[in-house]
Structure formats: structure tokens, C-alpha cells
Amino acid sequence: MTGALDFLTDELAALEREGLLVQPRTLEGPQGARARYDGRDVINLASNNYLGLANHPRLNQAASQAATELGAGSGAVRTIAGQMTMHRELEARFATFKHAEAALMFQSGFTSNAGTVAAILTKDDVIVSDRLNHASIIDGARQSRAEIAVFDHRDAGHADRLLAETARPGRRQLLITDGVFSMDGDIAPLPDLVEVAERHGAIMMVDDAHASGVLGEGGAGTVDHFGLHGRVDIQVGT
């Protein structure tokens, strides 16, 4: 080793002195409401496993069967040679569940938000985003290099004004909100936001990570909860 990375040691030490050094906790056993991390039994309030699906017997059995029949991996990315029948089947079933035209699976909610926003917009476009939207939406917005305008939390009127102010000929506009906000648990005024998006011809996107499995018939999410099928262009969920 040449020592070219010695600066990282100094930076890590500085972070530790400031109490900002992140040390990932190690889960010792199955994920659950009660779990064991780093030798301590704890009540787990930090996971996304709200419904206990990570340890559901039917899911465990299906995963085991799939690994036995198909192996432990696809061997390639989907765009080359790694797309499997079960990927297509899962996406078709999920699209039906969400009353959507199609679905695409990502490895995490963070990458789905960041990748989607960056894929549909360019630096010439604009994003109108709720002030309390999830960090992954903010990262995706930055990666797209589009102009970002932030509206006050749950304020459809403010979003309306920002869309009017940022409109340009040929410019795409994306209005984006969480369905259920992860920090406070409040619900977006989606009917009002949809009307605003339609009035301006904007793309309407909802991050439903914290509403999927919670709101709507069978847990179909915020769009289903408000009966807005066909009026929201993009839904993201985990």
C-alpha cells in the first residue's frame, strides 16, 4: 500500500471525535420486533419489516424453493442475461396489485426513487418536491440535475404556485410527494396534489414506501386509499 489513502484514517478519526462516525450494527439472528444486535437483546424500532414478512413461513418456503430450483443468483444483470421468468411474473403481479400498467423491481426503495427521478428528467426540467420528502427523492433530484423547487409540507397551493412560476415551453415538470411521511406518519393531500399536477400537465409521482401494506384495500397504498387510479403517473413502494 502506497499510503495514498492515509488521509482517510485522519478523516475517520475526526468523525469519531465529533461523534459522527457511523458503525453499522450487526444483527445476530432473524429480523423482528425483538432482535439481537451486537450482543444485546433490543426492541427494534428501526426496520422496515412492519408486517413481519421477513420471517413469514410462506415467504421463507418460497425463497428456499426458488433457490433450490433456480440457484442463488441470476448470474448477470437483467439487461444482459439475468432476467428470469420469476422477475417478470413478480412485476406483473405487483402491477395488478397497484392497478398500474407495469412495474419494475429495484433492489431497494432508495435506488428506485433515485433511479426513477434521474431517468425521466434532465437538467432542463424542474422538480417540485414536498419539503419533508424522503432523502432518496432528494438524491434522485440532485442526480437528475434538474431545477428543484420545494413547497411547504402538504401545501398543495404552494406547489401550484411553484409549478406556475417554473413553467417553460418544452420543459417537463415533476410533482413529487411521499404518500405517508416516514418521520411523522402524516398523509399527503394527494387528491389536491393530483388536481394541481393535472392543471399544469406535470408528471405526478408518489413515494408510497410507508403506505404500501398500510393504506388502501389490501394495503395497495395511498393512490388506492384516495381512489386515484389512473391519475398518478409513477408510484414507488417497498
What DSSP line would sit under the chain, residue for residue?
Answer: --STTHHHHHHHHHHHHTT-------B-S--SSEEEETTEEEE--S-S-TT-GGG-HHHHHHHHHHHHHH-S--SS-IIIII--HHHHHHHHHHHHHTT-S-----SSHHHHHHHHHHHH--TTSEEEEETT--HHHHHHHHHHT-EEEEEPTT-HHHHHHHHHHH--TT--EEEEEESB-TTT--B--HHHHHHHHHHHT-EEEEE-TTTTTTSSGGG--HHHHTT-TTS-SEEE--
CA dihedral for 139, 143, 149, 154, sign (positive or negative): negative
Q: Is 145 in contact with 92 (CB distance < 8 Å)?
A: no
All structural domains of the chain with their residue ranges? 25-44+53-70, 92-237
Phi, psi of 86 (to 5 degrees): -65, -30
Distance CA 106, CA 237 (A): 10
Residue 85 above 80 pLDDT?
yes
Q: What is the structure's pLDDT at 70? A: 92
Residues in the chain: 238
Q: What is the structure's pLDDT at 118? A: 84
Q: What is the structure's pLDDT at 1? A: 57
Higher pLDDT, 140 or 232: 232
Average pLDDT estimate for 177-199:
94
C-alpha dihedral (55, 135, 212, 120), degrees to nearest 10 = -120
* Other beta carbons within 10 Å of 168: 11
pLDDT in tens, 30-81: 999 999 999 999 999 888 887 888 999 999 999 999 999 999 888 998 889 9
Residue 114 half-sphere exposure toward CB, CA atoms < 13 A: 11
* Confidence (pTM): 0.85
Q: Is 200 in contact with 173 (CB distance < 8 Å)?
A: yes
Distance CA 130, CA 141 (A): 12
Q: What is the structure's pLDDT at 49? A: 85
Q: Name the CATH code of domain 92-237 (choices 1.10.20.10, 3.50.50.60, 3.40.640.10, 3.30.70.660).
A: 3.40.640.10
Average pLDDT estimate for 122-132:
94
Distance CA 187, CA 222 (A): 8
Q: What is the structure's pLDDT at 114? A: 83
